[in-house]
Amino acid sequence: ARGGRGLGRLGVGPFCYGPVISGQLGGGERRTAVEGPTWDVLVKGCDTDLGRTVGEGFGEAGHTVVVAGSRRDEVEVTAKELEVSNDQVIVFDNTDPASIARVQGQFPAHLDTIVNVPVPKWTGGDPRTYTLADHVTEWHSIFDNALVSAVLTVQALGDHLR
């Protein structure tokens, strides 16, 4: 499987709602933040290398991973790599309330953790040539994809969290 290691410390961050698995211990050992029962984890952004890595870390730690992203082909690749069943694959755009509403019934009834891996949609080009309006457009995209996407996902799925 692709991706790096080291998923951070146990805690809650702006893009993860619930406990986070710990990274590597000295000597390359891996451990989980949980002893005993496994978690049901939604990882949004599994259509990116970072999302794959996060999903892989939870999966290797023995947790049930639901992979999600907005690019179907990439989400399906991740699902295959992580050996996730089709009922644990959800394709939606979490910056779009209508897209979230369309897949609302596909989410598990219970989730322990939601991890949002934001994917800013950068239009490219040379920022030095941007007008102020271009900068506003780019920053709105970054804001929407990083913060608004997390808020919408948690608002839509908050009742699913245990």
Q: What is the pLDDT of residue 142?
A: 82
pTM of the model: 0.71
Q: What is the pLDDT of residue 99?
A: 95
Distances (CA, A) of 90 to 4, 7, 27, 48, 71: 23, 22, 36, 14, 10
Please report the sign of the dihedral spanned by the C-alpha atoms of residue 110, residue 5, residue 11, residue 52.
negative
Better-predicted residue by pLDDT, 17 or 118: 118
Taking 70 as the threshold, does the pLDDT of residue 23 lie above it? no
Tokens of 157: 């799925």
Taking 50 as the threshold, does the pLDDT of residue 6 lie above it? no
